């Protein structure tokens, strides 16, 4: 069930478990992962992108990525008659190319990147680094670590599973969109809980800003 929200009401918590949520009155629709809501609203405000309307799918879909293409397709079909353009603020996000195929078939544009870690950090340099022993957090995942990492993996009930899941990782890399000391400390605490070294990388919004400005 979708729920209309004002920008100030769109928070990570309010979007996490609900369906489509829309704000704005522009003629370009951005269909986004709920994990990007704060960042997209900040970009819209900072760059005067009032022509954009934001609607978000639940961030929890990332726990079942095979469901993302159908959810995006349903959202496009629901809204396509009401907007001149539609942008899809998702990377591939574990769909194995299925989301790109859906977007191509529907004639809507998505970010050309495997996931948000890459487009925040810069896709080319992220892929060139090949950090296979790094576990990544964004601002959203630092805030929602328990809900999206710790509990879904069962670590709240079976902490001994930590080494099975994370034994091959060496470093937690926090890709920070904001300069927030409290959130940095939260990310450090997450690294400690996982038994990993900590690396802070201030990325800002990366390639997301340019993507949202395509229809300016």
CATH topology of domain 7-116+207-215: Rossmann fold (3.40.50)
- For the chain, the distance separating the N- and C-terminal CA atoms, rounded to the nearest angstrom, is 30
pLDDT number for residue 216: 55
pLDDT digits (tens, 9 = 90+) for 98-124: 999 999 999 999 999 999 999 999 999
**Does position 12 have pLDDT exceeding 60, yes or no?**
no
Residue 53 CA, distance from chain mean position = 17
| Residue ranges of the chain assigned to CATH 3.40.50 | 7-116+207-215
In the chain, the DSSP E strands lie at 21-23, 28-33, 52-57, 85-89, 109-110, 134-137, 171-176, 197-202
Torsion of CA 114, 115, 117, 121, to 10 degrees: 50
**Does position 204 have pLDDT exceeding 50, yes or no?**
yes
pLDDT number for residue 215: 62
Strand pairing report for 21-23 and 28-33: unpaired
List helix spans (H) across 5-131.
12-16, 37-47, 68-79, 98-106, 116-121, 123-129
**Residue 161 neighbours by CB distance under 10 Å:** 12
Q: What are phi and psi of 143, to 5 degrees?
A: -65, -35
Q: What are phi and psi of 11, to 5 degrees?
A: -125, 165
CA-CA distances (angstroms) from residue 54 to 9, 45, 86, 114, 153? 13, 12, 10, 21, 30
Separation between Cα atoms, residue 192 and residue 213, nearest integer Å: 38
Determine contact, residues 48/39, Cβ cutoff 8 Å: no
Task: Pick the more confident residue, 5 or 182.
Answer: 182
- pTM, rounded to two decimals: 0.86
Determine contact, residues 116/154, Cβ cutoff 8 Å: no
pLDDT digits (tens, 9 = 90+) for 112-168: 999 999 999 999 999 999 999 999 999 999 999 999 999 999 999 999 999 999 999
């Amino acid at each position: 069930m979708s729920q209309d929200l004002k920008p100030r009401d769109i928070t990570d918590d309010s979007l996490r478990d609900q369906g489509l949520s829309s704000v704005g009155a522009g003629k370009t629709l951005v269909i986004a992962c709920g994990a990007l809501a704060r960042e997209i609203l900040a970009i819209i405000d900072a760059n005067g992108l009032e022509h954009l309307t934001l609607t978000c799918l639940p961030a929890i879909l990332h726990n079942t990525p095979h469901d993302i293409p159908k959810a995006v397709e349903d959202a496009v079909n629901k809204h396509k008659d009401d907007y001149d353009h539609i942008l899809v603020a998702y990377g591939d996000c574990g769909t194995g190319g299925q989301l790109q195929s859906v977007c191509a078939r529907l004639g809507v544009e998505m970010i050309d990147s495997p996931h948000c870690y890459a487009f925040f950090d810069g896709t080319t340099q992220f892929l060139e680094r090949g950090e296979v022993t790094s576990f990544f957090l964004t601002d959203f995942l630092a805030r929602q670590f328990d809900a999206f990492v710790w509990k879904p993996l069962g670590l709240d009930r079976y902490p001994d599973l930590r080494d099975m899941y994370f034994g091959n990782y060496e470093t937690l890399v926090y890709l920070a969109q904001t300069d927030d000391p409290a959130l940095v400390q939260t990310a450090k605490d997450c690294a400690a809980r996982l038994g990993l070294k900590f690396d802070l990388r201030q990325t800002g919004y990366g390639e997301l800003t340019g993507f949202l400005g395509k229809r300016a």
